[in-house]
Amino acid sequence: MNRLQDLGIKPTQSALGAEITGIDLNQPMPGELIHRLIKLWEKYHVIFFRGQSVSPERHIQISQWFGPRHAGYENMPILGDSTQPEMITISNVESDGLLGGGYIEPHQDGVYLPTPLAGAMMRAVEVPESGGDTSWSNLILAYQELPVMLKRKIRNLRVTATNIYAGKTSRTDLGGGKQFFAPDESPVYAHPLVRVHPATGKRILWVSPLNSERLEGIRNQVEANELLDTLKKHVDQDHLYYRHRWEAGDILIWDNRCCNHKRDAIPEGQRRVFYRTVIGGSRPF
Ligand code: SIN
């Protein structure tokens, strides 16, 4: 256990994702193995471990192997309360649980920030018998599948995104617990529509169906809106997704720089209790 030679990698049969075996995340982890896990995260975009049992402190420690905690921006809330605790509860039953039990549209976390999150780590403690699956889509593949002419057209465009925890666009249905909603709109940051992954150099179609708001760089706004709608549909095609059927004891880490994720609704009367930390990001380029 926890030796390089014991590490197993089982890629999913989907557009991204791999199960990692031969690892007990609760036991000491040699540095070279942590380095390998980071490389696997960058390669597969979603990595997961089954049957784990870790404390909240260990959860935070593992998350920080992949990058630092997010340093919050004043009045630019992300999912969580106003103090942005290091680990939040995502649950439809716990009193401090966030996100409720409904369907969540495809999105990247904190895409509206100057430095959107690099990733997140989620730990499943109670899992519903049905529903509540989470799916991630591959935005590198989404970019690669665009026609050449369209790639040329969008090369230098920028995109802004709405903060759903601020101002009049606040989505209170996606709050819960002690979620902080800022009274005023967040400042607007336009990021490259095609961003480059800082670790792998791959191009990413940086479009979030839930948050992307406006394209900058096309004078005709009607044309810009139509193009954004087309791209939102493009990134939401089934073949770009990996759907994760959760089991209690799962720990899953995703790369928010090149994936959208969405969640199925949780059926009434079923319990779901998850814990999540986020990994701070850098300014997209
Ligand atoms: C999220 O959208 O960040 C949470 C997804 C989930 O509850 O599975």
CB distance 99 to ligand 1 below 6 Å: yes
Share the mean pLDDT of the chain: 95
pLDDT at residue number 83: 66
pLDDT for the residue 84 = 67
Output 106 or 1, whichever has higher pLDDT.
106
Task: Quickly state the pLDDT bin for 22 (edges 50, 70, 90).
Answer: very high
- 174 within ligand 1 shell (Cβ under 6 A): no
Whole-prediction pTM: 0.96
pLDDT beyond 80 at 82:
no
pLDDT given for residue 27 in this prediction: 96
Distance between Cα 100 and ligand 1 center (Å): 10
Q: In this predicted model, what pLDDT tens digit does every residue of 130-187 receive, in sequence order?
A: 999 999 999 999 999 999 999 999 999 999 999 999 998 898 888 888 888 888 989 9
pLDDT at 81 over 80: no
The finding on whether 104 has its CB within 6 A of some atom of ligand 1 is yes
The residue assigned the tokens 């979620």 is: 179
* Alpha carbon nearest to ligand 1 atom 8, residue: 134
Whose CA is closest to atom 5 on ligand 1?
Answer: 263
Give distance in angstroms: CA of 155 to centre of ligand 1. 30
Burial of 95 (0-12, 13-18, 19+ CB in 10 A): exposed
Q: Which two tokens stand for residue 199?
A: 């670790």
Q: What pLDDT does residue 177 have? A: 80
Alpha helices in the chain (DSSP H): 31-44, 56-65, 139-144, 148-154, 221-235
Tell how far the Cα of 87 is from the centroid of ligand 1, in angstroms.
14
